[in-house]
C-alpha cells in the first residue's frame, strides 16, 4: 500500500517525496494546508522537524500496515488533493 500511496502523491501539487519510499513507511513533504485538511478528515501522522522545508510546509512520517486497504489509500489521496 505504501507504493500505491507514493504513486498517487507524485502528481499532486505541493507534495514532495525527498526520501525514496521503502517497505511500509513514506516521508513526504506537504503544505501545511494539505496537512491540516488531512487531519480534519481524521488522518494520523507524525510531523518531523526538518531544515529543508519552507515556512508553509511540513515533513511527515506516514506508515501503512497489513490492514491498510486500497480504499483507505484512495480516500487519503482524495483528501490530499482537496
What's the CATH code of the domain at 23?
Answer: 3.90.1150.10
Write out the chain's pLDDT in tens, 82 residues: 999 999 999 999 999 999 999 899 999 999 999 999 999 999 999 899 999 999 999 999 999 999 999 999 999 999 999 9
Range(s) of the domain holding residue 48: 2-75
Q: pTM for the complete prediction?
A: 0.91
Please report whether residue 43 resides in a domain: yes
| Count of domains for the chain | 1
Residue whose grid cell is 513507511: 25
Please report whether residue 80 resides in a domain: no
Please report whether residue 36 resides in a domain: yes
Whether residue 60 contacts residue 45, with contact meaning beta carbons closer than 8 Å, is answered with yes
Amino acid at each position: 500500500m505504501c507504493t500505491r500511496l507514493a504513486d498517487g502523491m507524485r502528481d499532486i501539487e505541493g507534495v514532495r517525496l525527498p526520501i525514496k519510499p521503502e517497505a511500509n513507511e513514506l516521508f513526504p513533504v506537504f503544505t501545511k494546508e494539505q496537512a491540516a485538511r488531512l487531519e480534519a478528515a481524521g488522518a494520523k501522522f507524525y510531523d518531523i522537524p526538518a531544515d529543508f522545508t519552507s515556512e508553509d510546509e511540513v515533513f511527515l512520517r506516514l506508515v501503512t500496515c497489513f490492514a491498510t486497504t486500497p480504499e483507505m489509500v484512495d480516500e487519503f489521496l482524495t483528501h490530499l488533493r482537496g
